[in-house]
């Protein structure tokens, strides 16, 4: 296979070679890299799924059964093609993606999972190690959403699921058993290789991940500023979305407040008015049970802390600005925990 191929085409070629166009009565929908049909909703002939008015990222491949009714939760209508497995793949591990950039494509298969379909995020093995957080994110997403979410590095798992579906039925005990066993193996990988680094303790995780667990709520803060979402050279929007899904699904049974203490209500309004077509901002603002909060949502925030945050609201977080930010958020989180600061509902 030519090294000159794009990551997208490498993955699509591998899908065709290792899983195939057809497994019994289950057919594959896939498009060449040059096509834009990936981005069209599945119900209109594409490879993208949506839910409650939110269209998620496009997938690389979808296997479906023709002439079988399926309720599309984006368009809220029945269609005569039942998608059974939706896959998003990446060659990122061969291309220097060692950190949380691996989270950035997590939402692509999530739209399918929200529709009750098996979603697969395939990370082709490479020189970098896959982030074990992904196993946890997908495992807990499978607890909250209608479908199941699998993280795989071996496409034979997808082939096995399709063969079981073809032989026994899409929702047969055989399929459910195989998928659930795989989910448990994902949980074990996450528990032993990632949760262990936090001493198997959520409070340790929270402390190290800028997070506060408060009863039925979880609060995560980040140093985002308005320019992160308006300047095309910034990658903070992608990172913010990845971190949002990580926190949301790790704490899938809690209300999630995503706190941007350097931003104001006016900043939020500006972005809502001017960046509504931006994919990352749209996801942040429309994800179920996720609430973006700014300094103006902190009831009881001392004037001097607010002034300090405003003074550093438009500068990169490094040097003195980073020191000021860290001091401010430490005080804020302590005051939220003690009840001196309330977060506006």
Model pLDDT, residue 97: 76
Angle between helices 133-144 and 106-114 (to 10 degrees): 20
Mean pLDDT, rounded, of the chain: 94
**Region of poorest pLDDT, from 35-39, 94-98, 161-165, 335-339:** 94-98
Model pLDDT, residue 2: 42
With a pLDDT cut of 70, the percent of the chain lying above it is: 98
- Tell me how far apart the alpha carbons of residues 94 and 133 are, in angstroms, rounded to a whole number: 19
Kindly state the average pLDDT of the residues 184-210.
97
Contacts by residues 309-317 (CB-CB < 8 Å, ≥ 24 positions apart): 309/261, 309/262, 310/264, 312/262, 313/225, 313/226, 313/262, 313/263, 313/264, 314/225, 314/226, 314/227, 317/223
Distances (CA, A) of 115 to 50, 118, 227: 8, 9, 34
Model pLDDT, residue 233: 65
Which regions of the chain does DSSP assign to beta strands (E)? 22-23, 26-29, 48-51, 54-58, 61-72, 77-90, 118-123, 149-152, 211-214, 217-221, 255-260, 290-294, 298-299, 342-343
Question: Contact at 8 Å (CB) between 80 and 67?
Answer: yes
Model pLDDT, residue 181: 98
- Tell me how far apart the alpha carbons of residues 125 and 102 are, in angstroms, rounded to a whole number: 13
- Tell me how far apart the alpha carbons of residues 45 and 39 are, in angstroms, rounded to a whole number: 10
Model pLDDT, residue 1: 40
Question: Contact at 8 Å (CB) between 114 and 79?
Answer: no
pLDDT over threshold 70, residue 304: yes
Model pLDDT, residue 95: 82
Model pLDDT, residue 125: 95
Kindly state the average pLDDT of the residues 290-312.
98
* pLDDT tens digits, 69-128: 999 999 999 999 999 999 999 998 988 777 788 998 999 999 999 999 999 999 999 999
Q: Which of 32, 239, 230, 249 is nearest to 119 (CA)?
A: 249
Model pLDDT, residue 50: 95
Confidence of residue 8 (pLDDT cuts 50, 70, 90): confident
């Amino acid at each position: 296979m030519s090294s000159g191929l794009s990551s997208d085409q490498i993955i699509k070629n591998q899908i065709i070679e290792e899983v195939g166009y057809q497994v019994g009565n289950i057919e594959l929908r896939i498009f060449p890299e040059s096509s834009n049909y990936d981005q069209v909703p599945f119900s209109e002939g594409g490879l993208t799924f949506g839910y409650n008015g939110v269209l998620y990222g496009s997938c690389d491949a979808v296997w479906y059964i023709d002439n079988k009714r399926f309720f599309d939760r984006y368009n809220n209508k029945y269609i005569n093609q039942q998608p059974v497995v939706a896959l998003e793949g990446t060659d990122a591990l061969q291309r220097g993606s060692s950190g949380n950039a691996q989270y950035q494509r997590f939402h692509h298969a999530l739209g399918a999972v929200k529709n009750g379909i098996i979603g697969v995020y395939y990370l082709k093995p490479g020189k970098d190690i896959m982030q074990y957080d992904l196993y946890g994110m997908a495992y807990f997403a499978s607890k909250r959403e209608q479908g199941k979410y699998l993280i795989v590095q071996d496409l034979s798992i997808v082939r096995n699921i399709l063969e079981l579906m073809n032989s026994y039925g899409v929702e047969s005990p055989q399929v459910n058993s195989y998928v659930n066993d795989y989910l448990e193996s994902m949980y074990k990988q996450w528990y032993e290789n990632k949760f262990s680094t936090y001493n198997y303790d959520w409070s340790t995780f929270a402390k190290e991940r800028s997070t506060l667990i408060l009863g039925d709520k979880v609060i995560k803060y980040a140093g985002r500023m308005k320019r992160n979402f308006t300047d095309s050279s910034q990658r903070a929007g992608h990172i913010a979305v990845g971190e949002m899904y990580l926190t949301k699904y790790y704490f899938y049974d809690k209300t999630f407040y995503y706190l941007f203490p350097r931003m104001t209500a006016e900043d939020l309004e500006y972005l809502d008015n001017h960046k509504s077509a931006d994919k990352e901002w749209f996801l942040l603002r429309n994800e179920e049970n996720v609430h973006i909060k700014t300094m103006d949502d902190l009831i009881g925030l001392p004037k001097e802390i607010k002034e300090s945050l405003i003074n550093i609201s438009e500068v990169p977080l490094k040097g003195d600005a980073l020191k000021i930010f860290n001091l401010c958020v430490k005080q804020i989180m302590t005051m939220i925990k003690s009840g001196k600061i309330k977060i506006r509902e």
